[in-house]
Structure 1
Amino acid sequence: MSTTRSPAEGRGPDGGVVRSGPPSPTGSRGSGPRAAYLRYGAGKLGGAAVSLFAVLVTSFFLFRIIPGDPVRAMTHGRQVSSEQLMALRRQFGLDLPVWQQFTEYCAKALGGDLGTSYQFHAPVGELIAAKFPATLLLTGVAVLVYSTLGLWLGTRSAWRHGSLGDRVNTGVALTLWSIPAFWLGLLLIIVFSVGIGPLPGLFPTGGMESGNETGLAHVLDVAHHMVLPVTTLVAVGYAQTLLVMRSSLLDEMGSDYLTTARAKGLRDALVRRRHAVPNALLPTVTMIFINLGHVAAGSILVETVFSWPGLGGLFYAALSVPDLPLVQGLFVVFAGAMILMNLLADLLYPLLDPRVAR
């Protein structure tokens, strides 16, 4: 008895039935890796947008519970009448209902207008832009140094875990991680700036420059002022990167693919560099991008201790008034930088491990 084949069927080389009809839903366009990544990225972008709105809400209401009247703080030490105080409140919009202040604040912030500083009488955006280069220089150098140092020492400690070097590195990292940055900064000032016993002061106590140098001498002068604050940030920051990298690599140490790589005759250093470290980097990527977020946020305590003219010192000055527009603007910039860096880390994950986007 003969059989009838449908036009969409044929015989393959092995005698099996081959269907040439329309593709199945699982192979349809829109379900490939690119579409999965786009869906993943859209979800992360939506989450970042929600986080940014939460930052706007938090920055508005959080700093309004700070004790103190901004108008009275601005007129401290001067005789002003109640009519003048009311005029200042109207000028800065402090006489409006809270809900109206909030809606105007959100509308302006989303348009890039962070308001006008109470104490400096200048746009908040301009004040932040003027102080940002100093923060970028200080924290940028520190993040670059302690991220590199932490990754290198964390890799070596994990690969030789249990050795004397591993115990020393881990102990030093845990000790430095537990030390407050401002306390370590004050200690370095006492020892290396003021001098102790026969040891003279070697570095400036604060500031970014002496103010009377030009050209190469100016560059060296700024570098001289950076030594102690950068050392403080590196000492506290590298410990966290080291411990995260060490823990991630230890989780990979017993994997079958490393045993297979060694069985193929690959050198130990090659197994570590080409196979173990790339797979252990995923948890550390978040740490690195968070560190990059600190480049914009700076370090309020360290900049204050060393009188560094950056965003941290500006935030401290604004908080002491309180200068609400400046405090809110800085808070949005700090939190926005962290949200952006976390978003970039999330978008990078699927490129390192495609399974993340599935």
Structure 2
Amino acid sequence: MSTASTPGVARDAADGPGRTGPSDTADRRSSGTATAYLLYTAGKLGGAVVSLIAVLVTSFFLFRIIPGDPVKAMTRGVPTSAAQLATMRKQFGLDLPMWRQFTDYCAHALTGDLGTSYQFRAPVGELIAEKLPATLLLMGVAVVIYSALGLWLGTRTAWRNGGLGDRINTGVALTLWSVPSFWLGLLLIIVFSVGMGPIPGMFPTGGMSSGSSSGFGYVADVAHHLVLPVVTLVAVGYAQTLLVMRSSLLDEMGGDYLTTARAKGLRDDLVRRRHAVPNALLPTVTMVFINLGHVAAGSILVETVFSWPGLGGLFYQALSVPDLPLVQGLFVVFAGAMILMNLLADLLYPLLDPRVGR
């Protein structure tokens, strides 16, 4: 058989055994990218595990330095003998050496057992599961609204940097970001719940519902109670998102790639949406995921001010005793949510910017 009838063989022979075609180079590049991403992911997972272990250790010792005796706090105002106090300490395991309490706590926590609450006499996991839906509702609605609003306004103000709208939005955002959320919540209660001057009291002062409705009426009642706490959280949260997005986009606006995109004849709106905004999203993505981590933690001060029956209010009640198993369990849940959201943000980075992780 002649070589003329088999051009593929001829080309292979010409290339030689040491040469590779474009497809082989692309395969190696793809394999190298996948390997780099796997190593990057493994490193981030290892860091998350180390962080979680540090949280377990911190949650145990941090709340041991809170002044106060849980047993005496629970029996305050009730005649109790020394023998009864000793029995209660033994029941709660407070009579054990510190190292034994720590090892027992870690062993139970690693199996998902967060202990039993001193004041509620119920498993901490059940208490958290009971209060979690209310916090997810409040914080979920607030995070979605202020993330979308902050991203949109941050993009608009940065793109029109120096204009009247930019100065007004930035000034309002800086003011709201510096306002304590609990103070803003109290102010809204005074103005819109109690009423002030010509403004009548339109919203309830606290709670999640009036408890006297069902069906659609219950949904409307919960939405009515949501207004003021959500406005409080959105006012502070959108300001932070706006300022971070604005700063990030301003850093990108001087890039040569935007000048090139305009030189190609692209409309200004397309340059912003297709080129500038995607490259400015990385810092904002981090903050959005951190805010999603706050969904589990809730806002302790805002929930306390509005008597919202969520995890924030539960944490405040636990600290007042102090109810050690409950505050430790809540701290682990709060910190664990933050670690998980940071991990997801880190894993998303290479998809937004291929340079990350290589």
Look up the match of 1:210: 210
Between the aligned partners of 1:246 and 1:185, the Cα distance in structure 2 is: 26
1:148-193: per-residue Cα shift (whole Å, max 9, x none)? 0000000000100000000001000000000000000000000000
Report the number of matched residues: 346
SS of the aligned residue for 1:119 comes to coil
Look up the match of 1:262: 262
Between the aligned partners of 1:61 and 1:294, the Cα distance in structure 2 is: 23
**1:256 CA drift (Å):** 1.1
Between the aligned partners of 1:19 and 1:301, the Cα distance in structure 2 is: 72
**TM-score (normalizing by structure 1):** 0.93
Between the aligned partners of 2:90 and 2:218, the Cα distance in structure 1 is: 46
**1:136 CA drift (Å):** 0.3
Between the aligned partners of 2:74 and 2:283, the Cα distance in structure 1 is: 47
Compared with structure 1, are the counterparts of its residues 38 and 206 closer, same or farther at alpha carbon in structure 2 (3 Å cutoff)?
same
SS of the aligned residue for 1:288 comes to helix
**What RMSD in Å do the two structures reach over aligned CA positions?**
2.0
Between the aligned partners of 1:232 and 1:347, the Cα distance in structure 2 is: 31
Alignment of 1:110-125 (within 5 A): 110-125=110-125
Which residue identity is paired with 2:348?
L
Does residue 231 (structure 1) correspond to residue 200 (structure 2)? The answer is no
More helix per residue: 2
**1:29 CA drift (Å):** 9.2
Alignment of 1:39-54 (within 5 A): 39-54=39-54
Between the aligned partners of 2:144 and 2:333, the Cα distance in structure 1 is: 21
Alignment of 1:17-36 (within 5 A): 18-21=15-18, 32-36=32-36
Which residue identity is paired with 2:120?
F
Look up the match of 1:130: 130
Between the aligned partners of 2:241 and 2:15, the Cα distance in structure 1 is: 54
Look up the match of 1:312: 312
SS of the aligned residue for 2:261 comes to helix
Between the aligned partners of 1:30 and 1:261, the Cα distance in structure 2 is: 28
**1:314 CA drift (Å):** 0.3
SS of the aligned residue for 2:213 comes to coil
Between the aligned partners of 1:20 and 1:61, the Cα distance in structure 2 is: 65
Which residue identity is paired with 2:322?
P
Which residue identity is paired with 1:309?
P
**1:81 CA drift (Å):** 1.3
Between the aligned partners of 1:313 and 1:108, the Cα distance in structure 2 is: 25
Look up the match of 2:183: 183
**1:198 CA drift (Å):** 2.1
SS of the aligned residue for 2:355 comes to helix
Look up the match of 1:154: 154
Identity %: 80
Between the aligned partners of 2:158 and 2:145, the Cα distance in structure 1 is: 20
Between the aligned partners of 1:171 and 1:178, the Cα distance in structure 2 is: 11
Alignment of 1:90-129 (within 5 A): 90-129=90-129
**1:21 CA drift (Å):** 3.1
Unaligned runs of 5+ in 1: 1-9
Between the aligned partners of 1:274 and 1:104, the Cα distance in structure 2 is: 54
Unaligned runs of 5+ in 2: 1-8
Which residue identity is paired with 1:61?
F
Look up the match of 1:250: 250
Does residue 323 (structure 1) correspond to residue 323 (structure 2)? The answer is yes
Between the aligned partners of 1:70 and 1:121, the Cα distance in structure 2 is: 13
Look up the match of 2:195: 195
**1:31 CA drift (Å):** 5.9
1:53-102: per-residue Cα shift (whole Å, max 9, x none)? 11111110000000100111111111111111111111111111101101
**1:321 CA drift (Å):** 0.4
Look up the match of 2:56: 56
Which residue identity is paired with 2:310?
G
Look up the match of 1:170: 170
Between the aligned partners of 1:90 and 1:158, the Cα distance in structure 2 is: 61
